[in-house]
Amino acid sequence: MIMRIPALLASVLTLLAVSGSPATAETAVPSGFRPASTSWTGPDTGYVLGYSPCAKSWCPALLGTTDGGTRWRRLGAPPMSLPDNHNHVALTFVGERVAYVSDGVHVRTTRDGGASWHPVGLAGAREPYYLSKITETAGRVFAVLTTYGEGRGSTRLYSGAAGSPVLVPVPGFAVGGGISYGDLAVGGGLQVALGADYGTEKYWTSRDGVRFTPAEPPCPAGSVASLAGVRDRQVVALCSSSPGSPQPGSTERELGHAAKLGGTFSGGDAAPFAGITQGFAAASPAAATVAAEGGGTGFLHSTADGGRTWTTSVLSDRGLSLTDLDFPGRGTGVVVDGQPDADGGSALYRTTDGGHNWRVLRFG
């Protein structure tokens, strides 16, 4: 017996089938989409949080790729507005399902790949403050928070169990001064660097996120450490002077290397000083890139021989920010240039040769 489906019911079923099909690259990317932040868990697997114009505002959209950006799929975007003060909206994925997003003040997390987002509190934090980095490793969440006020600030390490709705300050992990700052890195172990006034520098390492060992800071007094994860069992850091030295729009900087996590760092040759340091990442112990902005221009200074020689890529004249510089593996790196609501917009750059050549990654 052959069952016949009425024409109206057949049309409805056809419509449902079409609606339930996976989004194509064209429908996944909203019109006018501009990247704000990117996070990659591997050379080919990455995520981009961006914004597109909607109803006289900017609406968030989260995209994912598993083929290096050839095709994109749409994920559930976090309810994070584009800040009026141009704070960087930073996205951090720590797996296929776990991610964090912060505008420096508010933090939200997902543990189901973007299907739902939940706020993360910061115990005892009073505005004005800025959360500069957050990540998760070894079953714990870590964040660096800097508070400001009355000419003095402090920078602290916050932490909590993975999935915790509130992060708390870690006792003993704090510095204070007229200017304070900090950084952390994961991969091959956890590194935490805190400093103040280009004179007080503290540095810790941990292999399990629970037991920390104080170590000699990566950088000499008068410079700030930017940390990269462990690469081939070696540790790479960037040491930058205060902005504007030796001249406006420049920074003195050099690489530091340690043979192992917690080992003593040794300095290297000077890196190009054009631009104010915006970011740092290493593809290997020998290959590293510095992101810098100066004179309205974005620079990527790259080395393939541990800092002995450098090449510089000039990205654009957007002149606002270079963010999310990272090398997730196989010499593949990414960086976001500009901001979605700026006159020049924003773009995502990608390299597949350790930072020697960079190209804009398109979204369809």
In tens, the pLDDT along 117-175 reads: 999 999 999 999 999 999 999 999 999 999 998 889 999 999 999 999 999 999 999 99
Average pLDDT over residues 28-55: 96
CB-based contact 340:295 (threshold 8 Å): no
DSSP 218: S
pLDDT above 90 as % of the chain? 82
pLDDT digits (tens, 9 = 90+) for 181-197: 999 999 999 999 999 99
At residue 27 the predicted structure's pLDDT band, cuts being 50, 70 and 90, is low
Collapsing DSSP to helix, strand or coil, 17 comes out as helix
Instruction: Report, as an integer, the average pLDDT of 234-254.
Output: 93
The residues, ordered by sequence, that sit 6+ positions from 307 with a Cβ below 8 Å of its Cβ are 254, 255, 268, 269, 271, 288
Select from 331, 337, 223 the least CA-distant residue to 270: 223
The answer to whether residues 195 and 229 touch, using CB atoms and an 8 Å cutoff, is no
- b/e burial code for range 199-228 (CB count within 10 A of at least 16 → b): eebbbbbbeebeebeebebbbeeebbbbbb
Confidence of residue 269 (pLDDT cuts 50, 70, 90): confident
* pLDDT mean across residues, the chain: 91
Check: CB of residue 350 under 8 Å from CB of residue 324: no
Q: What is the pLDDT at residue 149?
A: 85
* pLDDT at position 137: 96
22: how many CB neighbours lie within 10 A of its CB? 8
The least confident of 82-91, 112-121, 166-175, 311-320 is 311-320
pLDDT of residue 1: 36
- Does 5 score more than 50 pLDDT? no
113 pLDDT exceeds 70? yes
Distance CA 98, CA 121 (A): 17
**pLDDT tens column, 207-237:** 999 999 999 999 998 999 999 989 999 999 9
Please say if the pLDDT value at position 104 is more than 70.
yes
pLDDT interval class at 2 (50, 70, 90): very low
